[in-house]
Amino acid sequence: MNELNQLANCNRPWAAERAKYALQLANAIQSGQVSKEEGLALLEDLVRTDVLDNEADNAEMRAMLVAGVTQLASFLL
């Protein structure tokens, strides 16, 4: 989640918004407000290649976001 925390405070809106949303989803899943299945599907949507490629303007940040969301999803399983 370190990557997501870093990105949540970055100056790239596309990355910051997605990172904040991923962290919010993790909290919602852990508190039982969102089912694991629904939460994981929403996390996958955050890093869908076709949508992300259109918005991502920095390959390093894109990779950090994908890695952070992937690690988060693994942790939540």
Token pair for residue 6? 């870093």
Per-residue pLDDT at 27: 95
Q: Which range marks the domain in which residue 13 is found?
A: 2-76
Q: What is residue 20's predicted lDDT score, i.e. its pLDDT?
A: 97
Q: Is the pTM of this model over 0.85?
A: yes
Domain count, the chain: 1
**Alpha carbons within 13 A on the beta-carbon side of 42:** 18
DSSP string, 3-71: HHHHHHTSS-HHHHHHHHHHHHHHHHHHHTSS-HHHHHHHHHHHT-HHHHHHH---HHHHHHHHHHHHH
Q: In the predicted model, what is the mean pLDDT of residues 27-41?
A: 95
